[in-house]
Amino acid sequence: MKEISIKKYIRYLFALAIFAFILNKLILRPWVLESELPEFFKIIVLSIPNLVEAIVGTLLLTGIFLQARRYFNEYLEGIKDIHIYIIAAGLAGVYGISQEYKLHNIGGNNVFDLNDVIASILGLIITLVVIIKYGFIEYKKK
């Protein structure tokens, strides 16, 4: 089975999100929490993981669902890209936000923080708008 051809900017967005997570975890967060910086910066570095989780989760689910549609083309060919994007963002949102509200503990120990919920929603919206506007798959012209 042929794999989908993901647009280059999607791969860059995914890599940038992972890089931002690692940079935040290893360098920014420890430095900001030890410094006498305003509370705003602490909120940002503590909420970046939720933002990244929403971005990465939406991109991963979108790729999985688009590949599944291609694999099960006979049954799923009628599902439009936009519907897949919305479903992927919705499921990523349900996972991330329900974790904040302690409906499950799949991601590990979690402390409720409204700023984390806001960061998750922001990541979902940004990712959804970007993939709706610019697409996810590189369609070959016939």
Distance CA 59, CA 141 (A): 24
Q: What is the pTM of this model?
A: 0.90
Q: What is the pLDDT of residues 97-132, one digit of tens each?
A: 998 887 877 766 777 889 999 999 999 999 999 999
CB 59 within 8 A of CB 15: no
110, 99 contact by CB (below 8 A)? yes
100 vs 119: CA distance, rounded Å: 11
CA distance 116 to 114: 5
Mean of pLDDT values over 66-88:
92
Instruction: Read off the pLDDT of residues 4-18 as tens digits, 9 standing for 90 and up.
Output: 899 999 999 999 999
Task: Extract the tokens encoding 85.
Answer: 């994007």
Angle between helices 114-134 and 39-71 (to 10 degrees): 40
- The whole-number average pLDDT for the span 59-67 is 96
